[in-house]
Amino acid sequence: MCLIVQLYHPGTEFSGFHCNRNTIHLQCQACGGMMPSRVDIGVPQHCLGCDRVFCGAYWHAQGVSRSDSHSICNHDNFEPISERAVSRIPFLAHEKNRHEQDITERCIRQTGKTLQDVISDWIGKLSNREIDRTRMPLNHAEMITVGTHVCNDCYEKLISFLLYWFRISMPKYLLPPEAANREDCWYGYACRTQHHNEDHARKRNHVCRPTRGNHA
């Protein structure tokens, strides 16, 4: 199965662990590579946010960074939240409404901070339990801390969730004028019209709680 051990450390003991016929293997959801299932080593092999298998932290902990014959993830595909970096607003943010993403980008620029600064601030608030996690789109939301390893998809979901809080807690006078003058859509973030009607998506604020419909 995962013969990387022998390939990269020929003839050496490898963390005292060798696969045998009874070893259960897990398949990484990012690279498709296999790794032995290890419950005793304190290194996560599943993403807490989605319960899927990822190999990056495991091989990193084993000191293996690449293999010519086996798939291995780069360790930054599966890292603790505190060690991750964000460079752009995720495609998923604000229910994929790019007008709202654009407003958020301008709000951040106006504060003089980088996206990374803003996210770091909000991760701090999340850690201090200043944010209601009810709408956090990750599994085990209550268990997640800055030290939790998450996959790329879950990290983007987390960033999107934090950007919602950044926007919803921002006083209206700090929004760009044309954004501040918009009325809230009754259906808020849950509005479906924003996905197929550009005009509506732009003219109403959708970073708000629904006051009508199923989510109200």
Residues that bind Zn ion (CB under 5 A): 1-2, 19, 28, 30-31, 33, 36, 47, 49-50, 55, 73, 151, 154, 185, 191, 193-194, 204
Three-state DSSP class for residue 101? helix
Least CB distance to Zn ion at residue 28 (A): 3
**Computed over its alpha carbons, how large is the radius of gyration of the chain?**
21
Quick one: 19 or 89, whose CB is closer to Zn ion?
19
For the record, the structure tokens of 70 come out as 């086996």
Cα separation of 149 and 30, whole Å?
Answer: 14
CB of 85 to Zn ion, least distance (A): 17
Give the residue with the Cβ less far from Zn ion, 136 or 185: 185
Q: How far apart are CA 12 and CA 181, in angstroms?
A: 68
Identity of the residue, 18 or 109, whose beta carbon is nearer to Zn ion in the bound complex: 18
180 touches 107 (CB < 8 A): no
| Placement of tokens 């964000």 in the chain | 86
Q: Minimum distance between the CB of residue 130 and Zn ion, rounded to whole angstroms?
A: 23
Nearer to Zn ion, 108 or 188 (CB): 188
Work out how close the CB of 151 gets to Zn ion at its nearest, in angstroms, rounded to a whole number: 3
Q: Which residue number, 166 or 187, has a Cβ lying nearer to Zn ion?
A: 187
DSSP for 22-64? T--EEE-TTT--EEE--SSSS---B-TTT--B--HHHHHHTT-
Tokens of 20: 């045998």
| Min dist. Cβ of residue 32 to Zn ion (A) | 7
Q: How far is the CB of 112 from Zn ion (least distance, A)?
A: 31
Q: Is 4 left (phi over 0), alpha (psi -120 to 50) or beta?
A: alpha
Nearer to Zn ion, 108 or 161 (CB): 161
Helices (H) and strands (E) counted in the chain, each on its own, are 7, 6
